[in-house]
Structure 1
């Protein structure tokens, strides 16, 4: 199990998804990590549930930090990023939003997207 320490784990990717609680938390994660794949999802969403194993695999096997945002619990955060449907994946690199994928996407395509920004 991954443990976060104040020094080294803050800037390196985590090997399991981080559950985001609010705008400040997401901003903090994006600021501290080079590449962040953010999964805007809902528990009732079938495609979101289908995407879950892929998101977990990407968190474990890529250089990206994976963040999960429950749109029902974080409606303002989802609105601020223009999320209209779930799943929506937003990729941040060096603190900036660089990509957005709406709908179910395959692991290979998402891995290639992450790797195009990861050093």
Structure 2
């Protein structure tokens, strides 16, 4: 049975179970902990859409206002915070606005 294709756009996550399931299903998941009111988060959005379309990583979007317990469990204290999961385990953490090149570098180092 062939693996499902990697999603080419970010996936909205609601709840810890949804994030756990996604990180178990996918080898590489870049989780973006964001808030709608956050300017840098909005600036990061098109970069994440490109990353989702052009890399091996699945991009997950976690709204910290709607998922406060989940954000807290990953130690998110500011937004945007990006956590890269490899084989279900968090391996990298990036805080603040990131360039597309920086995001690609973190992903490429794991592929």
Report TM bin, short chain. Answer: over 0.9
Secondary structure of the residue aligned to 2:77 is: coil
1:8 aligns with 2:3: yes
Question: Which residue, out of 14, 20, 23, partners 1:27?
Answer: 20
Where does 1:45-56 land on structure 2 (aligned, <5 Å)?
45-56=38-49
Secondary structure of the residue aligned to 1:54 is: helix
Unmatched tracts of structure 1, length 5 or more: 1-6
Structure 1: which 4+ aligned runs deviate by more than 4 Å? none
Shift of 1:13: 2.0
Aligned to 1:109: 102
Cα shift readout 1:56-81 (whole Å, capped 9, x = no counterpart): 00000000000000000000000000
Unmatched tracts of structure 2, length 5 or more: none
Shift of 1:95: 1.0
State the alpha-carbon separation in 1 of the partners of residues 44 and 28 from structure 2. 19
Question: Which residue, out of 74, 77, 84, partners 1:81?
Answer: 74
TM-score, normalised via structure 2 length: 0.96
TM-score, normalised via structure 1 length: 0.90
Shift of 1:19: 0.2
State the alpha-carbon separation in 2 of the partners of residues 115 and 35 from structure 1. 10
The alignment covers a number of residue pairs equal to 111
Shift of 1:8: 3.1
